[in-house]
Structure 1
Amino acid sequence: MRLRQATLTTFRDLGVTPEIADALETEGITTPFPIQEMALPLALDGQDLIGQARTGTGKTYAFGIAMLQSIGKPRKNRKKPRGLVVVPTRELAHQVSEDLVTAAGKLGSRVLTVYGGRAYEPQVEALKAGVDVIVGTPGRLLDLVKQKHLDLSQITSLVLDEADRMLDLGFLPDIERIFKLIPEQRQTMLFSATMPGEIVALSRKYLNRPTHVRAEHGSDSEGETTPQVRQIVWRAHRMDKIEIVARLLQAEGRGLTMVFCETKRACDMVSEQLDVRGFAVAAVHGDLGQGQREQALRAFRNGKIDVLVATDVAARGIDIDDVTHVVNYDCPADDKAYVHRIGRTGRAGRTGIAVTFVEWEELTRWKMINQMLGLDFAEPEETYSTSPHVYTELNIPEGTKGVLPHASRSRAGLSAERIEDLGETGRTRTRGGGRRREEREERPSRTPRQRRRTRGGKLTEEGTSPVETPEVEPVDNHSRYADETPAIISTGEVEAVTAEPRRRTRRSAVAATAPVADVRREPATIAQPVAERQSAVAERQPVAEREPVAEREPAAEREPAAERRADREQVVSQDKGHEPSFLSTPPPPARKEPERIIPPSPFAVIFQSPDLATDDDEIAPSAATERKQQRRQPRGGNGGGPGRRRSG
């Protein structure tokens, strides 16, 4: 059954109890809207119904008043819920809960909101204490049922709010599970702004002879937009849209403004640029923590910020009366999204302005939306931030630039709104940890660490007590400068070395310049002479650190190689019976020259392959020999073969 708009009366005339009517009158709600006037008599009678009306026409009170009145006043011995409202988003759950609490002010009904992003413990404690109505999202409801904290066996009234949005978000399997958990004898109400085919199929499956209530305003179109909203559609360039928005936000008479973007990244980009330009702005999207999302919405309602940049997650359930402008920064995906976006303004009989930007590559999509809704913007006007019609149509003062003057920056900003500790179950995934620069606490400076040097468990001279050092330190013989470690050297050796001029020699001349034989014969001497040690250290140095070749001895002064070899052999033969000192440098290994092999004649045979044949080996016959043997064989073959002639 479809009903047209009826004559407005009071809530008391519709059969609402005095407690609920008085609570609504206290909040200034005295006259019901068309959808409330048509749906309340049927809902109070216990019938299943489908409510369809434009956004912002009071659908929440249409089912909320009937649910609260059917449940009645709370009882102490009744802890399990009797009413259940399923919503698609957290913001809508919070909005519906506030409206139900307002209507149940004098009844004292216990309303609990459950959704993701909050801690489980407060919700579980409230369920144990007892509730009458639960408003929640499908995911958290099923989680609480799975953990056996929530029992839906006594539900008498079920409401699906914004059912088309739940289907778009993929909640249909969760909704079917919820239907299986509640009793079959119940009242089911389904409310939505649009009515796609999936909603009709769902109502036929789970609703019992529902009544279709549809509040219209002069047209039969399901996607009819709010008539109180003046719509403006411009074709704009992507790089110029932020400049147009900055000028639009300085229009005369502008109140709260919502800017809708297609992606979360676009929301962050637009909010950051508007913040740099001096506007009090905040963002709301799915990557924000629940505490940050509620903080932004509270600041927007309280007037601490006047610009809210959001995705379609805020296109439903945001019921704020003072929103005067809605900006579609990105073209909506379809006609339903467009209707819900611009429905955030012009609510409850007020007027508003909706500005939509369409880029060149989005023209095809916009023409489909325009055709579905029957609008007159098939060819949007090409617009830039310096176009004259921008100032005239939006009532922007002449000479306005894209930066808000400092004298007009009177809003407190998002930092003035406190973030509630909700015990969030997930981490914050926004840039900067989800806080603005003003809110970030500086990390305290680290105190300098007191360090004490110890050796062997005892403090060193830098500490409180010194450490006893041994008189003789061990010497590493394998170190590069082990030979330079001072040893016990006599005074005569030092004087003899200083008196002689210092000469650098090659490794082969060490034996001729230093008295190696005398040092190795005397085991009592601990170290070698200084000259020999210095020459040994010089030999171990890299080539780059040695002196140039020009400073060495000339070739004429060098001893022949044969004499050096003879002296080295003589020293080795003399030292065979003596044991070298542990500090002495080991003698260099004797270098053997390889013997040169000179063949007697260049034509000599160097290698000859061995003959592997033996006397027992038979010589293989040649091909001619094999053919000769075949000719000698008889034609008929041997025995009684097939080639033998038959006798007789």
Structure 2
Amino acid sequence: MTTTDITPDGAAGAPAGDQPPADVDYSSASAIQAQDVSFADFGVREEIVRALSDSGITHPFPIQAMTLPVALQGHDIIGQAKTGTGKTLGFGVPLLHRVVAPGEPGFDELPAPGKPQALVVAPTRELASQVARDLETASKHRNVRIVQIYGGRAYEPQIETLNTGVEVVVGTPGRMVDLLNQGHLNLTRAATVVLDEADEMLDLGFLPDVEKILSRTPAVRHTMLFSATMPGPVVSMARRYMSQPTHIRAADPDDEGATVKNTRQVVYRAHALDKVEVLARILQAEGRGRTIVFARTKRTAAKVSDELRTRGFAAGAIHGDLGQGAREQALRALRHGNIDVLVATDVAARGIDVTDVTHVVNYQCPEDERTYLHRIGRTGRAGNKGTAITFVDWDDVPRWQMIDRTLDLGHPEPVETYSSSPHLFSDLGIPEGTKGRLPKGAQKLGGLDAEELEDLGETGKRTAGGRDGGRGGQGRGGQGGRDGGRGGQGRGSQGRGGRSGEARRSEGQRSDGQRSDGAARPDDKPAAGEGSGEGQRRRRRRRRTSNGSTSADGA
């Protein structure tokens, strides 16, 4: 694999340690960056330029300016960029530029009109949904049909949409492989393939599925791979499935990102019984806007979210025990301003792109430096200032010191902090006298209930669980799957259902697709008058008669 490396400053030198080991020809992108260019200057279709302009997008971000001239020529690309850098349009605009939609010249001459012409593979449902929305925005003046394929939704609507005909498929690996195996997804005409956040797909164990998907696409295709880092397995996959890719970096490899430079970082050693009280006071700091609170476990995320709502805050949660409908409800509420606090686990938050986040709170210490940067990178974007607060328990001090030493943060010893500590108020601009409950007069947002909890068909109609699930749990829950979807509405059932594949994979587990007790089998039809579920079999008991013998009695 030979790569051409493009960086914003055009600096030459050997690739960084996590870069693809290859013969590298460094070329400068400074000319591109110095010009005040627009999307039209790259020769992008007029309908796409107009659609972006309608949304207030007229000038490309650096990653887009570097990607467009290469991608529009059909060259394979390895794009190294973090979430929030604008990479979606970096690959989305070239992808849409090549797609031929119904009613456009050449559509009827396609070898298979209605079969997917482009494919985007993402690690999580939330990222897939975000990518699909961005593509829909950029193609609103064209008749491009875009379908989202991921777990947590019923199979039937997705299958029906594929059968009707689509141009672009966006989804997660597990559900895609499932539909490929069933013969519902045909990728033989997918001439453009995008792998978004490939390193996250590696972390979630999806690379084998991704390679299976790639093997079902044309041998000659346009492939674009985007990843924040380039670990060995991702490099190996790129070597096997890409042809002379151009390696594009959105930032200097030694720079941890402008988001960190714009983010004030505060670290406190907080005590478990006092952390919610501390958090509640932080959420009343002056100038506090949208806030994301990160937790390491699903249980903690649910508990903190519930506690904040009890204290009067407009809070929602995103974690693996929630069904897809509840997760999307929380995200809509945050985007629409009905809540301003989102409590999330690391896995569930991957791919969520929310603007104007002023504060990030690490309620539990991150696992490592990469997770720390990923969390605090949610604030301080697009030149805005942000604040990141990290709580460190006594047991987590060694872990934090390792993170601090690796990133050279200068906070090796977190300051012991209580909800009454004067420095807490002065550090974060919390008004004096603030307590751990939001006053009634300040409770002005609509909350989660202001957003409808959609019925996404999470129970489906299938009799066997797929790799992405999608049958989640009303009653006792249906089949689980590799991309989750086991949860029903709200939090699903706590017995068999309600757990998503992403979160379960983060715990080192993989769904085996076997039937649960709530799954119907062809020979399990209940008799007339009997309920479903366990079948409510009639029990028989023995009654002792007067002569000492026993007789059967229906119970």
Tell me the TM-score range normalised by the shorter chain: 0.7 to 0.9
Once residues 371 and 409 of structure 2 are traced to their aligned partners in structure 1, the CA distance between those partners, rounded to angstroms, is 15
Between 294-303 and 68-77, the greater mean CA deviation after superposition = 68-77
**2:88 is the alignment partner of 1:54:** no
Counterparts of 1:363-442 in structure 2, within 5 Å, are: 363-424=397-458, 425-427=471-473, 434=491
Query: Equivalent residue for 1:157?
Result: 192
1:434 is paired with a residue whose SS is coil
Q: CA RMSD in A?
A: 2.2
Correspondence 1:105 to 2:162: no
CA distance, structure 2, for counterparts of residue 433 and residue 302 of structure 1? 19
| Shift in Å, 1:276 | 1.2
Contact 2:298–2:345 (8 Å) recurs in 1:
yes
State the alpha-carbon separation in 2 of the partners of residues 338 and 327 from structure 1: 11
**8 A Cα contact 2:473 2:488, kept in partner:** no
Are the aligned partners of 2:312 and 2:439 in contact in 1 as well (CA < 8 Å)?
yes
Distance in 1 separating the partners of 2:167 and 2:48: 16
> C-alpha offsets along residues 444-488 of structure 1, whole Å, 9 cap, x if unaligned?
xxxxxxxxxxxxxxxxxxxxxxxxxxxxxxxxxx9xxxxxxxxxx
Q: Which has the higher strand share?
A: 2
Q: Deviations over 1:76-101 (max 9, x none)?
A: 66110010000011111110000000
Do residues 235 (structure 1) and 256 (structure 2) align? no
Once the 2 structures are TM-superposed, how far is the Cα of residue 426 of structure 1 from its aligned partner? Answer: 0.6
Q: How big is each residue's C-alpha offset from its partner over 1:248-276, in whole Å with a ceiling of 9 and x where there is no partner?
A: 11111111111110000001110111111
Check the 8 A contact 1:329/1:357 in 2, yes or no.
yes
Q: How does 1:278-317 map to 2 (within 5 A)?
A: 278-317=312-351
Say whether 1:167 aligns with 2:194: no
State the match for 1:43 in structure 2.
71
1:25 aligns with 2:59: no
Closer, same or farther: CA 128–241 of 1 in aligned 2, 3 Å:
same
**Residue pair 1:229, 1:345 contacting (<8 A) in 2 also:** yes
- CA-to-partner distance for each residue in 1:492-527, whole Å, 9 max, x for gaps? xxxxxxxxxxxxxxxxxxxxxxxxxxxxxxxxxxxx
When residues 53 and 20 of structure 1 are mapped into structure 2, their CA distance, relative to the original with a 3 A threshold, is same
CA separation of 1:383 and 1:280: change in aligned 2, threshold 3 A: same
CA contact (8 A) 2:61 2:85 kept: yes
Q: Quote the residue 1:86 is aligned against.
A: 121
Match of residue 536 from structure 2: none
Q: Which residue of 2 aligns with 1:144?
A: 179
In structure 1, the residue corresponding to 2:438 is in which secondary structure? coil
What SS does structure 1 have at the residue aligned with 2:85?
coil
Structure with higher RCO (Cα < 8 A, 6+ apart): 2
Q: Does 1:72 align with 2:76?
A: no
Q: TM-score normalized by structure 1?
A: 0.65
Tell me which protein shows more helix as a share of its residues.
Answer: 1
Structure 1 equivalent of residue 7 of structure 2: 3
Q: What's the offset of the Cα at 1:348?
A: 2.8
Q: Which residue of 2 aligns with 1:135?
A: 170
2:343 and 2:387 map into 1 onto residues whose CA distance is 16
Instruction: Give the drift of 1:198.
Output: 2.5
1:1-36, Cα deviation, whole Å (9 max, x unpaired): 132252252111223222111111100111111111
- 3-state secondary structure, aligned to 1:354: strand
Secondary structure of 2:261's counterpart equals: coil
Counting only pairs closer than 5 Å after superposition, residues 490-505 of structure 1 correspond to structure 2 as none
Amino acid at match of 2:64: Q
Aligned identity (percent) is: 57
Whether contact under 8 Å (2:318, 2:349) holds in the other structure is no
Q: What is the alpha-carbon distance in structure 1 between the residues aligned to residue 77 and residue 42 of structure 2?
A: 17
Q: Quote the Cα distance in structure 1 between the aligned partners of 2:173 and 2:6.
A: 30
Amino acid at match of 1:184: A
Q: Is the Cα–Cα contact under 8 Å of residues 195 and 222 in structure 1 kept in the other structure?
A: no
- Where do 1:118-267 residues align within 5 Å? 118-216=153-251, 220-221=254-255, 226-267=260-301
Assess, with a 3 A threshold, how the Cα gap between structure 1 residues 123 and 195 changes in structure 2: closer, same or farther: same
Distance 2:427 2:61 in 1: 31
**1:339 to 1:72, Cα distance in 2 relative to 1, 3 A:** farther
CA contact (8 A) 1:223 1:373 kept: no
Aligned to 2:30: none
Could you tell me which of 113, 130, 147 is aligned with 1:95?
A: 130
SS at 2:389's partner residue?
A: strand
Give the deviation of 1:286 after TM superposition. 1.0
- Stretch of structure 1 that moved more, 349-358 or 18-27: 349-358
Alignment of 1:447-486 (within 5 A): none
Q: How far is 1:431 from its partner?
A: 12
Structure 1 gaps, min length 5: 436-477, 479-648
Structure 1 partner of 2:311: 277
CA distance in structure 1 between the aligned counterparts of 2:171 and 2:206, rounded to whole angstroms: 13
Q: Could you say if the C-alpha distance between residues 249 and 143 of structure 1 is closer, same or farther in structure 2, counting changes exceeding 3 Å?
A: same
- Mark the CA change 1:154 to 1:104 in structure 2 (over 3 Å): closer, same or farther: same
- SS in structure 2 at match of 1:213: strand
Q: Matched residues in 2 for 1:426 and 1:38: separation? A: 42
Offset at residue 123 of structure 1 (A): 0.8
Q: Given residue 434 of structure 1, which amino acid in structure 2 is its aligned partner?
A: R
Rounded Cα–Cα distance in structure 1 between residues aligned with 2:263 and 2:227: 20
Go from structure 1 to structure 2 and tell me whether the alpha carbon gap of 1:271 and 1:102 turns closer, same or farther (over 3 Å shift). Answer: same
Q: Specify every segment of 5 or more residues in structure 2 that has no aligned partner in the other structure, as ranges.
A: 10-32, 459-470, 478-486, 493-545, 547-555
Q: Which residue pairs with 2:151 in the alignment?
A: 116
Q: Residues of 2 paired with 1:367 and 1:434: CA distance?
A: 36
AA paired with 2:73?
A: D
- 8 A Cα contact 2:259 2:381, kept in partner: no
- For 1:225 and 1:157, the matched residues in 2 are separated by 31
CA separation in 2, counterparts of 1:270 and 1:238? 12
The separation in 2 between residues aligned to 1:313 and 1:327, in whole angstroms, is 16
How big is each residue's C-alpha offset from its partner over 1:424-445, in whole Å with a ceiling of 9 and x where there is no partner? 021168899639xxxxxxxxxx
Greater Rg over alpha carbons, structure: 1
Q: What SS does the corresponding residue of 1:184 show, helix, strand or coil?
A: coil
* Equivalent pairs, count: 437
Q: Which amino acid aligns with 1:63?
A: F
C-alpha displacement of 1:222: 5.6
Write the deviation string for residues 595-634 of structure 1: whole angstroms up to 9, x where unpaired: xxxxxxxxxxxxxxxxxxxxxxxxxxxxxxxxxxxxxxxx
Q: Which amino acid aligns with 1:3?
A: T
- What is the alpha-carbon distance in structure 2 between the residues aligned to residue 431 and residue 200 of structure 1? 38
For residues 54 and 383 of structure 2, the distance between their equivalents in structure 1, rounded to whole angstroms, comes to 20
Question: Residue 274 and residue 212 in structure 1: after superposition, are their counterparts in 2 closer, same or farther (change >3 A)?
Answer: same
